[in-house]
Amino acid sequence: DIQMTQSPSTLSASVGDRVTITCRASQSISSWLAWYQQKPGRAPKLLIYKASSLESGVPSRFSGSGSGTEFTLTISSLQPDDFATYYCQQYNSLGTFGQGTKVEIK
Amino acid sequence: EVQLVESGGGLVQPGGSLRLSCAASGFSFSTYSMNWVRQAPGKGLEWVSYISSNINTIYYADSVKGRFTISRDNAKNSLYLQMNSLRDEDTAVYYCARDRPPRSSTPASFGYWGQGTLVTVSS
């Protein structure tokens, strides 16, 4: 089974900060990686698919990069609506999520 | 507008059974593969099961294999999850989620999610 490891687990940041979250796969997953945003009590929302493709309607301050085993989600300028938990998901072999990264207000 | 509405959650004793449903609307249901994803209270997301658009391919997470059965009725635009031999660790919000691309042959990225239904396994 493919394991996904996100870092950090928690991130404290301020509005306007550039934020980067890392996701590592236990084996190569090519570019079969997605990123989701989840707010408390809500369903996850797809942000990025195929490692770097922006889902329709998602603000351009979100971007994804990477391939193989190492991936990043970057928020170029953190907005108040972006404080949430972010998950990566590999879909090279079934589906496995990372443990999540909570982005909180500094 | 794509809508996914889960139902069927509730309180069940360990060893019991429950059947979840997901009613889909706003898209061609028979064209998209579907999934169940769960989230235990205060925990992360766990993919549970996948069924292809043509019902030919089904996958399960090891944690539910042999106890859960996924199915769909394309005529009724509905997805189901039959859960048997439930354990305490199955307590979670269960989401149905649609694959982003049509006619995928394995789980893909999940472009649409329902609001979730809570399953509590407790004596």
pLDDT digit string, tens, across residues B77-108: 999 999 999 999 999 999 999 999 888 888 89
Residue B83, number of CB atoms within 10 A of its CB: 23
Verify whether the Cβ–Cβ distance A94 to B106 is below 8 Å: yes
DSSP letter (8 states) at residue B7: E
Residue positions counted in chain A: 106
Token reading at A97 = 């999520």
Residues of chain B with pLDDT > 70, as a percent, come to: 100
**Is the Cβ–Cβ distance between B113 and B96 less than 8 Å?**
yes
Kindly list the residues from chain A whose CB atom is less than 8 angstroms away from the CB atom of residue B107.
Answer: 91, 94-95
Q: Mean pLDDT in chain A?
A: 97
Query: Which residue on chain B is closest to A34 by alpha carbon?
Result: B109
Q: Residue window 32-71, chain A: list those with CB within 8 Å of chain B.
A: 34, 36, 38, 43-46, 49-50, 55
Q: Mean pLDDT by 10-residue block, N- to C-terminus, for chain A (106 residues)?
A: 97 96 97 98 97 97 98 97 97 96 94
Contacts of B14 (CB under 8 A, 6+ apart): B86, B87, B88, B121, B122, B123
Nearest to B31 by CA among B114, B112, B117, B123: B112
pLDDT of residue B107: 87
- CB of B61 less than 8 A from some CB of A: yes
Task: Label residues B100-121 b or e (16+ Cβ within 10 Å = b).
Answer: beeebebbbbbbbbbebbebeb
In chain A the first and final C-alpha atoms are separated, in Å, by 36
